[in-house]
Amino acid sequence: MTLLLPLEGLRVLDFSQFLAGPYAALKLADLGADVVKVERAGSGDLSRQLYLTDTRIGGESTIFHAINRNKRSVAVDMKNEADRAALCGLIKGADVVLQNFRPGVMDRLGFGYDAVRAINPRIVYGSVTGYGTEGPWVDLPGQDLLAQARSGMMWLTGGAEDGPVAVGLPIGDILAGAALAHGVLALLFRRERQGVGGLVETSLMEVLADLQFELLTTWLNDGGRMPKRSAQNPAHAYLAAPYGVYATADGHVAIAMGKLDLLAEITGLDAATAGLDAFAARDVIKAGLAVRLAEQPTDHWMAAFIAADIWAAPVLDWQGFAASGMFETLDMLHEVQRGDVKLRTTRLPIKIDGQRPASDRAAPALGDANGLLAKGWG
C-alpha cells in the first residue's frame, strides 16, 4: 500500500544552517514536506565543509549529507535585490519558514518574523537560538558544547571524581531541532483549526533544561541541596545502588534495577555489603559489585541477569549495535543518492500506518532548485 505522507504538499523555506534548524527541517521533509534550503551563493550552508573526519562524500561533509537529505536548495545573494524579491515570492507561497541565526540577524536581513508575516500572514515561523532572545547570554555563541557547559548538564554527567563530561554528540542541537519541529506541527494544526499562523521559538538552553526536568525538579524542591555524583561506577546523580556501569572481564555491563540481595546471590557479593542502605552506602555497595563483576565476561553476567529479571544490558559500541541486527529489525537504515553520490544513513524514527516514511533523495547540490527563484513553487 502506498503510504500517504501526512505533510505532503507542505512548503518549507529553510534559512537555517549547521544542525538545529536543519534537523527540524529534516523531520518535516521525512514526513512529506517540500523543504527548500536557502543558502549563500558560492559557499552554501557552512556545514557543507564542516568535517567530522577526513571523510568526504561528493566533496562535502558527511554531517551535511546526514542532516540535509531529502531537501532542495536555492543559492542566493542576500545583497542582490532580484534574489531578495525572489525570496519574498517564495515566502508568499510557503507554509513554514525556519531560521537559527543569532537574535537580530534575520531582522537585519529583512526576513525576521514581522517582515515575513507582513508578506504571508498565515506563515508558521520557527526560530532556534542559543539562549533565547534576551538576557545576559543573548549575544554569546549558541554552540552545542558551550550550551552543555552552561546548562549544568556537563557538570552533572560523570562521577564525583571526574571533571565535567560532555555528551558525545550534539544533543542540544538535536533536541532543539526536535522541539522546533514539534512546535511547527502544533502551529500548523492551530492554523488548520483557527486560520492563523504564528511564531514558535526554542533554544539550546531551553531544551537542555527540559532534558534535565526530572533531576531539576528534585533539586528545586529539595531546599537547593545539590546531588552528589557517585564516585563509584557513575550513571545517575540521584539513584541508589546498583544503578551504574561496571567493567566485566571482557567489556562493560550497565545495571539499572535489581534487588541487592538477588544481585549478591548471583555475583557473590557478601551479604553484609548487600544489606547496607542503597542510598547512604551507594559507593560502598557499587565498589563491592565492581570487584565481583570484573571476574566474569559480559555474556556470563547477562545470562544470569536475564534469567533473574535484573534490568541490565551489555555496553555496545557501534559495531556491536550493528551486529545485533537491530538496524535491520527496526528498518532504520537506507541508502540515499544524488548522481554518483551515495550514502547510507538513518531513517525517520517513527512509522505511519505501519510504514516508515523514506526517500532515496540525498542532500541537495548547492542551488539545485534555483529555478524556483524565477517561477515560484509551481
Closest CA relative to residue 316, chosen from 245, 257, 263, 267: 245
In degrees, rounded to 5, the angle at the alpha carbon of residue 94 between the alpha carbons of residues 88 and 99 is 75
Helix (H) or strand (E) holding 321: helix 318-323
What is the residue-wise DSSP string for 119-176?
H-TT-EEEEEESS-SSSTTTTS---HHHHHHHHSHHHHSS-TTS-----SS-HHHHHH
360 labelled catalytic: no
The β-bridge relationship of strands 60-61 and 56-57 is: antiparallel
What is the residue-wise DSSP string for 34-47?
EEEEEEETTT-SGG
Closest CA relative to residue 147, chosen from 125, 129, 122, 162: 129
| Residues paired with 200 in a beta bridge | 126
Distance of CA 353 to the CA centre of its chain: 24
| CA-derived radius of gyration, the chain | 25
Closest CA relative to residue 282, chosen from 160, 165, 147, 118: 160
CB 39 within 8 A of CB 75: yes
Q: Which of 107, 173, 277, 353 is catalytic?
A: 173
CB 319 within 8 A of CB 336: no
Determine how many CB atoms are found less than 10 A away from the CB of residue 166.
15
Sole residue written with cell 541477569: 305
Instruction: Give the integer Cα–Cα distance in Å for 246 and 300.
Output: 14
Closest CA relative to residue 359, chosen from 62, 122, 71: 71
Neighbour-count burial of 288, counting CB atoms closer than 10 A to its CB (0-12 exposed, 13-18 middle, 19+ buried)? buried
Instruction: Give the integer Cα–Cα distance in Å for 130 and 132.
Output: 6
| Residues paired with 20 in a beta bridge | none
Catalytic site positions = 173
